[in-house]
Homo-oligomer: A and B are copies of this chain.
Amino acid sequence: MGEVVFTDRELDIMAVLWEHGPSTVASVRDRISIDLAYTTVLTILRTLEEKGHIGHEAEGRAYRYHSLVERGEARVSAVDRITRKLFAGSTETLLSHLVSDQDLSDEELQRMRALLNARLGDDDEGEEGA
């Protein structure tokens, strides 16, 4: 269970692969927000591949890169990390921060509550006694 950690730039690129699926260098480059040289994108992709986070297959003369890491895994790692380091290990404190300091609209907050209600209601209707 090796903590999946990405650098800033790596994360930019992983985000593209997760969002748009397997992509060539050129299409990754087109889709990231910041402007990088073609070779720079390629280098980061090669680094990611070296680390085992992504793979590729030939497509014509180009490569198409695909993620080997579930986005969910990266999410758990990242959330764990900031929970530990910034919220003293408390997910509740994190949520409290989300609802009070993160500048959300009432509608968003209501949808969040709906999510929680659904989760608590659906999952285990009877055993909320403990």
Which A residues lie at the B interface, using CB under 8 A?
A: 11-12, 15, 19, 71-72, 74-76, 78-79, 82, 85-88, 91-92, 94-102, 104, 106-113, 115-117, 119-120, 123-124, 127-128, 130
Query: Chain A's interface: helix, strand, loop or mixed, by majority?
Result: helix
Task: Give the chain B neighbours of A112 by CB distance below 8 A.
Answer: 91-92, 95, 116
Q: Which residues of the other chain, B, contact A95 by a CB distance below 8 angstroms?
A: 95, 98, 112, 115-116
A72 cross-chain contacts in B, Cβ below 8 A: 97, 101
Closest to A118 in B: B99
* In the complex, chain B residues whose CB is within 8 Å of the CB of A113: 113, 116-117, 120
Can you report 15 A-B residue pairs in the complex whose CB atoms are below 8 A from each other?
A15-B85, A19-B88, A71-B86, A75-B101, A79-B82, A79-B98, A91-B98, A91-B102, A95-B95, A95-B112, A95-B115, A99-B119, A107-B130, A110-B128, A112-B116
